[in-house]
Amino acid sequence: MKIKPSLKKKISRTLLYFLLILTTFLVSLPILWMISFVFKPAYEQFKTPPTLLIENLTLENFEKAIKFAALRYLFNSFLVSSVTTLLVIGVSIFSAYCFSRLNFFGKKKLFYMIIFTQAFPLASIIIPLYKLMYSLHLLDTYFSLIIAYLTFTVPTAVWLLRGFILRIPMDLEYAALLDGCDRINAFIRILLPVIKPGIIAAAVYTFIITWQEFMFALTFISTPDLKTLPVGILIFVGQLGLVDWGGLMASSLIVCIPVFLLFLILQKQLVSALTGAFKA
Amino acid sequence: MTLLFTSKLLDNDSFIASLFLAPTIILIIVLFFYPISQTLWLSFTKVTKFEKNPQFIGFDNYIRVFSTYEFYTIIMNSAIWTSIVVAFQFLIGLFTALLLAQDLKLRSIARGLIILPWAMPGAIAGYLWKFLLDSTIGPFNWFLISLGLMREPHSWLGSPSTALFSVILSAIWKGFPFSTLMYLAAIQSIPKELLDAADVDGAGFLNKLRFIIIPYIMPIIRITLLLTTIWTFNYFDLIWVMTKGGPRISSHIFPTYIYQVAFEWSEFGTASVYAFIDFIILCVFSILYIVQLKKGGIF
């Protein structure tokens, strides 16, 4: 018996939908589990067998998270990430311009250097950076983190922004130059407004990766009040390894919310920034 | 006169470049080249976290490190960790990208949800998986038991034989969406005529995959593989949060071990040996990566 092509198509589409839903479900299951867990009261959290369903919804885990960890660390994280982002964009937009619009001696070699530093193993320089912060009396300050974060954010931001500028035709700038505008003005007045979406994408990307930074934050900050979120919420892991899972998962979710929101809202721009930087 | 002079300067590429690039170059020198040279120097000295004056001891640190079994374990672990994580991120990334490239109704919601693990901070993904794998409260054990694969809960992170594979599983989940995004963008840029022509010829899906899709996205596959290798090799937060490299050193890789030796045991000299070897290995990957970018015509 021969299967009709239209029926065959229907079967394959059903199969595709099934695969898509199953894959999405499996990938999101850990996050779904976390969400269901933090809305459960303690006695339900320990019930066996564990389930995704919540019988008595409660906010007690969030109350704990906010009381012990979230607010103070949230402020620290916001401060460090936003200042870093501003600095990074300020520095890298000019470099990105050079690599996409100018011809100068050593351009290629310098760009190799930027890419090379992008892939740099940060663990290999953490000891000298620690010593540097120590001798500058910067340990245990926001500055130590902001400076350290420039190491891995500037090269990436230069790379992303360069990709954006390259995709803008030069016509507008040429026209401005013919009208007697100089290069720097053409850059600031003409080019910058056009690449605004690119700048936003690079800024959000920088914010997201500094928001989640862990190794430097763990090394440079020891005063509890100055810790950033990813390290600060370790408060729920006791010295003997006893973990307050409700508090830890609730505060983990709080750390995720801003990043998830930024990601979902700006998904298109971020994806095109990342993949665009790799286009020939 | 001065006005004329400055406006001429502003039309000179090299002048603008030296002005605009100065901050980035200074940053790179102060925050990369100076520190890595210090790492090299410290690796030849006897120095702890609290000592101000490192004492030059030649190759002593290297000789000592090479004679420990820890060194070879770290190398092995790094190799196992990196290759398995990268391989699975590639496979799952390609699979999900092919799925999301189909013209299906729910795909933009599905894409948003599938990307989320990648947006999740590494440390948080670590806490989350520590929770899922926990032997009393986590659902992972219970799933395996109810599927009949296990009889009683196992302490996945607590036993040396399963700790490394547990962190590998978590890292695959956390990182594969980056590959998905890269491959999805590449697949979507394949000219439609190419795929339509294959349809006319009656090519099945597997043939299309093998003869059109894979060859077309090959440059992006190579770049993504190298990039995920570099990132995976450099991973710190997820492992540190889940196992701290333990039990004993069963799940340590370079970055976690460097951190532990330097900041928990305060042995800056020994840690610098590991740090410098880490750097050399990464140099090899970076050079391969740059070569691929050049081949792909990206700069």
Which ipTM value was assigned to this complex?
0.88
pLDDT of A240 higher than 80? no
- The per-residue pLDDT for range A250-272, each reduced to its tens digit, is 888 988 888 888 888 888 888 88
According to the model, what pLDDT value does residue A70 have?
A: 67
Domain of B179? 60-295
* CATH value at residue B254: 1.10.3720.10
Cβ B120–A256 below 8 Å, yes or no? yes
pLDDT of B75: 95
- The shortest C-alpha distance from A91 to chain B (Å) reads 6
Q: Is residue B73 part of a domain?
A: yes
What amino acid occupies position B147?
Answer: L
Q: Which residues of B touch A211 (CB under 8 A)?
A: 121
CA neighbor of A209 nearest in space, from A270, A252, A268: A270
Whether the pLDDT of residue A104 is over 60: the answer is yes
Gap from B55 CA to chain A (nearest CA, Å)? 16
Say whether B55 sits in a helix, a strand or coil. Answer: strand
Closest Cα of chain B to A251: distance in Å?
Answer: 9
Let me know if residue B52 belongs to a domain.
no
Query: B 187-206 residues with CB below 8 A of A?
Result: none
With beta carbons under 8 A apart, name residues in chain A contacting B109. 24
- In this structure, is residue B203 part of a structural domain? yes
- Using 50, 70 and 90 to split pLDDT, how confident is the model at B148? confident
Question: In angstroms, what CA-CA distances link B253 with A128, B176, B189?
Answer: 20, 20, 37
Which chain B residue is nearest to residue A43, measuring alpha carbons?
B137
Question: Does residue B279 sit within a domain?
Answer: yes
- Taking only the tens place, the pLDDT of each residue in B232-264 is 999 999 999 999 987 889 999 999 999 999 999
Residues of chain B contacting residue A150, judged by C-beta atoms under 8 Å apart: 27, 31
Q: Looking at the 3D structure of chain B, how many domains does it have?
A: 1
d(CA A53, CA A261): 24
Confidence at A3, pLDDT banded by 50, 70, 90: low
Does B162 reside within a domain? yes
What residue of A is the nearest CA neighbor of B130?
Answer: A245
Mean pLDDT of B206-217: 88
CA distances from A236 to A47, B238, B253, B264 (A): 21, 17, 26, 20
In a domain, B35, yes or no: no
Q: What is the pLDDT of residues A6-30, one digit of tens each?
A: 787 888 888 999 999 999 999 999 9
pLDDT band for B5, please (50, 70, 90 cuts): very low
User: Does residue A81 surpass a pLDDT of 90?
Assistant: yes
Find the range with the poorest average confidence among A14-18, A168-172, B16-20, B200-204. B200-204
Question: Residue B192: CB partners within 8 Å, gap ≥ 6?
Answer: none
* pLDDT tens per residue across span B284-299: 999 998 888 888 777 6
Which residues lie closer than 8 Å to B251 by C-beta, 6 or more apart? Answer: B77, B163, B164, B166, B167, B239, B242, B243, B245
The answer on pLDDT for B4 being more than 60 is no
pLDDT of residue B11: 63
Residue in A closest to B22 by C-alpha = A95
Q: Is B41 inside any structural domain?
A: no
3-class SS of residue B164: helix
Which B residues in the span 95-134 are in contact with A, Cβ-Cβ below 8 Å?
95-96, 99-100, 102, 104, 106-107, 109-117, 119-124, 127-132, 134
